[in-house]
Amino acid sequence: MIVLEFKLKGKLQQYRIVDEMIRTAQFVRNKALRYWIDNQGVKLSDLYKQCAIMAKEFEWARKLNSMARQASAERAIFAIQRFFSNGKAKNPGKKGYPQFKKHTHSVEYKTSGWALSTDKKCLTFTDGFAAGTFRLLGSRDLHFYAPKEIKRVRVIRRADGYYAQFCINVERTAEIVPTGKTIGIDVGLNHFLTDSTGATVPNPRHLPKSEKALKRLQKRVSRKKKGSSNRKKAINKLGRKHLKVSRQRKEFAIKTALCVVKSNDFVAYENLQVRNMVKNHKLAKSISDAAWSQFAQWLQYFGKVYGKTVVAVAPQYTSQDCSSCGNRVPKSLSVRTHICLCGAVLDRDRNAALNILAKGLRQARIILNTVGHTEINAWGQTGLYPLVVTSTDKPTG
């Protein structure tokens, strides 16, 4: 599954209708969740039936396409399933009990309620809201895909406008170019990443670069009268600035992950629990700005697309253990040089990257031995040929 995004170009009145569509989708989702709370053990089919009942009960809910109402109910059931899966997995902390939504920003259609023009440059909504036709602005082309391959259309409201995402049921593949290289990656705050060869990528620190402007815009919002049009304009400018920082962060994660995957046949990285790490309030802002989880998601995605092996390893003691002799050398976070009794002296992050690579190779070797795919390459290491060559899932960040 791949996702293509376009900006929707329309009239102001059309955007107001889209806002009504989003509010209706939020209402259906919350009503479906309320039905589950009042009737424990209901299934998705039961929520589908409730969508039909809502359409009869509320005239304005009937305007939303029937499949769009079902997609809104699916959002509720997905939140419920995530809550139960977190409980079964015994994840620490809160399990994410489903909550009612107050500020939804999107509405999702399936295979009906919308239509593309013959040149596939315009999108028309055909349900009861009659939002009309929008021009699609973007660098990608929908001509390569048949209408039946488009399984969902998601409309998203952002600070800088309205966007349409087309979820297309096709497999993305790329030519596999073996490089004969393996790499271990240690992410950090001083450097965004340090690999097992000693190479580093500087931390871009997108948020600190824009923090002065963000504080200024936040002050403007605070000084405006609540409910006034000037306050709404100030909030929109603040949202646009936050959106720009978010896009910078995402673009950096994508480009860095793509470069790492294309340059190596085997990539090992730390499976960090960022949710627990941000509990340290002194480092929470810097950790969130680094976007390690987003980087890891794109590593996995590009690994499938380019047929490379990407392995996540446990981060425990990767910084403490010596990569030369294996002895444990306890050190605080402020100590940036690894010094061992065996004579090994190297940068702390590179030592961790070497340990991550060794862990990843052992982990992959066990998996490949289990399925019977172990071979020896000419360059003397175990042949780690990926089990999955194509990709059907793309990250949403």
Taking only the tens of pLDDT, the chain with its 397 residues reads 888 999 999 999 999 999 999 999 999 999 999 999 998 778 888 889 989 999 999 988 999 999 999 999 999 999 988 888 888 887 777 788 889 999 999 999 998 999 999 989 999 999 999 999 999 998 888 888 888 899 999 999 999 999 999 999 888 878 788 888 999 999 999 899 999 888 999 999 999 999 999 999 999 999 999 989 999 999 999 999 999 999 999 999 999 999 999 999 999 999 888 888 888 888 899 989 999 999 999 999 999 988 889 999 998 888 888 888 888 888 888 888 888 888 888 888 899 999 999 988 888 877 666 555 444 333 333 333 333 333 344 555 5
The pairing of beta strand 191-195 with beta strand 200-202: antiparallel
CA distance 19 to 357: 49
Tally the domains of the chain.
Answer: 2
Choice among 108, 186, 265, 321 that is catalytic: 186
Task: Report yes or no on 289 lying in a domain.
Answer: yes
End-of-domain residue from the set 107, 133, 168:
168
Are 353 and 184 in contact by the 8 Å Cβ rule? The answer is yes
Is 349 known to be catalytic? yes
Confirm whether pTM is higher than 0.85.
no
Query: Do 83 and 190 have their domain in common?
Result: no
Give the Cα-Cα-Cα angle 125, 126, 128 (nearest 5 degrees): 110
CA distance 24 to 141: 30
Report the 10 Å Cβ neighbour count for 97: 12
Domain span holding position 128: 2-168
Helices 12-38, 66-88: inter-axial angle, 10-degree rounding: 50
End-of-domain residue from the set 141, 168, 195:
168
Query: Do 235 and 127 have their domain in common?
Result: no
Residue 397 is which amino acid?
Answer: G
Choice among 195, 265, 289, 349 that is catalytic: 349
CA distance 61 to 21: 9
Beta-carbon contacts of residue 238 (< 8 Å; ≥ 6 apart) = 214, 217, 218, 220, 221
CA distance 161 to 138: 13
Query: Do 218 and 92 have their domain in common?
Result: no
Is 251 known to be catalytic? no
Is 270 known to be catalytic? yes
Task: Report yes or no on 396 lying in a domain.
Answer: no
Query: Do 313 and 266 have their domain in common?
Result: yes
Query: Do 156 and 298 have their domain in common?
Result: no
Are 4 and 165 in contact by the 8 Å Cβ rule? The answer is yes
Task: Report yes or no on 176 lying in a domain.
Answer: no
Choice among 108, 127, 195, 270 that is catalytic: 270
CA distances from 41 to 27, 46, 70, 202 (A): 21, 10, 18, 50
